[in-house]
Amino acid sequence: MEVKIDRLDHQGRGIAMMDKVTFIPDALPGEIVDIEITESKSKYNVGEVKNYIQKSDVRIKPVCPYYHVCGGCDLMHISYDEEVKYKENKIKNIMQRYAGLTNVSKIVRCQTELGYRNKVTFKVDKKLGIYKKDSHDITYIDNCMLISEQMNSYIEIINKMDLTGVYEVVIRESDNADMIIFKCNDDVKLDVDDLEANVVRYYDRKYKTLKGNNYIIDKIGDLSYKISPSSFFQVNSHQVKRLYDLVLENLELKNTDKVLDLYCGTGTIGLYVSRYCSDVFGIEINEDAIKDANYNKKLNDIDNIFFTVGDSKIIKDISYKANKIIVDPPRAGLDKKVIDEILNINPETLVYVSCDPITLARDLNILKNNYTVEKIIPVDMFPRTYHVETVCKLKRK
């Protein structure tokens, strides 16, 4: 079936307009392709390219040999220049369509498009691999171009091990040390002598240290952060300082400001901005993350930040009177109760860090009734994928 690609969707797939919308991975606007329908739903189809009849001028050959079978990357068939154009336009389209906002800034490019990830998760079936896109089938790989040579060196060593009973392996890297986490179905025996890293086993919802420490220390600017096996930490070591600098810049802090840091995780953003204000109060639902946050507070000798475990209910109960708020929620965005509590606190400035533009637009559409959305800044934290981080500055009307 021959079709012409009209545009790209929000996941970087080509769109062809047939009897119904058809999504076609690895197809670019203007291309004419021969496709086969692989999935048919009531409102859309999914197709697969069988032959390129006419290719786009911006198409390039992917540098990764696994690109067409691995589900890790989405945009390696276009140049990085084209990728950031696509991402900036994607944010513009989503903000205008779902929030009626048109003031999207120029995207902040990443310094490097490859080798930027400090964390990678491999699935295991005798060897390490990554799920194929939209599948639980594993593609075995010997090298990933989104991680460093040092992290890749572990793949060869781990693939020589007996991985019976292991279903997932996580590799984390920092300037201080590396950490490898083996997630197991049962109480397996692992020979980890050849791994020059901290090694941890995850079994029965518990972590056990097999070698070295059960954490690593990484830096953002001049601050140090403890990263435990389950801790969230921005995966792009090259771009994270720029992201946090944007948060700091848009908070416009004075030494009298009191900052509430919601979804604070291990305190990374709160600690980063704490030196420029009166004090910071961080709230996070994950108890282990708060333990790390308090460790990081002591590690950096910072005494004007306070952390507590809690969800939206605790925001209402605390007596902390913030005049500025930071939110960095998961992909699901802000809970409706959290939005209600933010509006109740009525801060003069709100800085919203988002990893999902759709839920961001949904939330901004509510918040804009009380706040002027002054800035929407796309930040490329995930080169060669369709994902985009966004920093938004909102000022009370």
Quote the tokens at residue 364.
Answer: 């901004």
Quote the tokens at residue 199.
Answer: 């090694």
Nearest to 135, CA basis, from 60, 3, 51, 46 = 46
Q: Determine the pLDDT at residue 165.
A: 95
Q: Determine the pLDDT at residue 67.
A: 94
- CA-CA-CA-CA torsion sign (52, 58, 60, 62): negative
pLDDT digits (tens, 9 = 90+) for 87-115: 999 999 999 999 999 999 999 999 999 99
Residue 355 annotated among the catalytic residues of the structure: yes
Instruction: State the first-to-last Cα distance of the chain, in angstroms, to the nearest integer.
Output: 54
Quote the tokens at residue 167.
Answer: 């279903």
Distance CA 52, CA 352 (A): 42
Which of 205-209, 244-248, 307-311, 316-320 is least confident? 316-320
Whether the Cβ atoms of residue 3 and residue 28 lie closer than 8 Å to each other: no
Whether the Cβ atoms of residue 312 and residue 338 lie closer than 8 Å to each other: yes
pLDDT digits (tens, 9 = 90+) for 324-375: 999 999 999 999 999 999 999 999 999 999 999 999 999 999 999 999 999 9
**What's the pLDDT band for 185 if we cut at 50, 70, 90?**
confident
Q: What percent of the chain has pLDDT over 90?
A: 90
**What's the pLDDT band for 318 if we cut at 50, 70, 90?**
confident
Nearest to 298, CA basis, from 238, 223, 209, 365 = 223
Residue 297 has pLDDT above 90, yes or no: yes
Mean pLDDT across the chain, nearest whole number? 95
Residue 120 has pLDDT above 80, yes or no: yes
Catalytic residue among 70, 73, 277, 355: 355
Q: Determine the pLDDT at residue 186.
A: 82
Place of tokens 């000022």: 395
Q: Determine the pLDDT at residue 195.
A: 97
Residue 133 has pLDDT above 90, yes or no: no
Residue 255 has pLDDT above 80, yes or no: yes
Q: Determine the pLDDT at residue 12.
A: 96
Quote the tokens at residue 375.
Answer: 């800035």
- CA-CA-CA-CA torsion sign (339, 360, 389, 72): positive
Q: Where are the alpha helices (DSSP H) in the chain?
A: 80-99, 149-159, 240-251, 268-274, 287-299, 312-317, 336-345, 357-367
The residues with which 183 forms a beta bridge, in sequence order, are: 168, 202
What are the distances in angstroms from CA 84 to CA 106, 333, 380, 384? 10, 23, 8, 10
Can you give the C-alpha Rg of the chain in angstroms? 23
Whether the Cβ atoms of residue 236 and residue 110 lie closer than 8 Å to each other: yes
Considering the entire predicted model, what is its pTM?
0.94
- Could you give the domains of the chain? 2-59 (2.40.50.140), 85-112+236-396 (3.40.50.150), 119-217 (2.40.50.1070)
Angle (nearest 5°) at CA 157 between 155 and 158: 65
